[in-house]
Amino acid sequence: MSTAAPATAAAPSAATRTLRYALHTTGMTVTNVVFMVFTIALPVGMYLLFSMMFGQEGAGQARGVIMVNMAAYGGLGAAVTAGTQIQEDQRSGFLRQLIVAGLSPRSFLAGSVMAASAVILPALAAVGLVGVATGVEVGPGSFLATVAVLWLGLLPTILLGIVLGMLLKGGAAMAGGVVTMMAMAIFGGLWMPLEMFPEWMQQIGRAMPTYWISQLGEWTLQGGELPVIGLLVIGAWSLALGALCALGLRHAVGLTRR
Q: At what angle do helices 171-187 and 155-167 cross, to 10 degrees?
A: 150
Closest to 150 in 3D by CA, of 98, 221, 202, 223: 221
Full-model pTM: 0.85
Question: Apex CA 118: angle with CA 93 and CA 82, to 5°?
Answer: 40
**CA dihedral sign, ordered 240, 149, 76, 252:** negative
Buried b (16+ CB within 10 A) or exposed e, 160-180: bbbbbbbebeeeebbebbeeb
pLDDT, tens digit, 9 for 90 and up, residues 91-125 = 777 777 777 777 777 888 888 889 889 989 999 99
Structural domain boundaries in the chain: 14-253
pLDDT, tens digit, 9 for 90 and up, residues 69-97 = 999 999 998 888 877 777 777 777 777 77
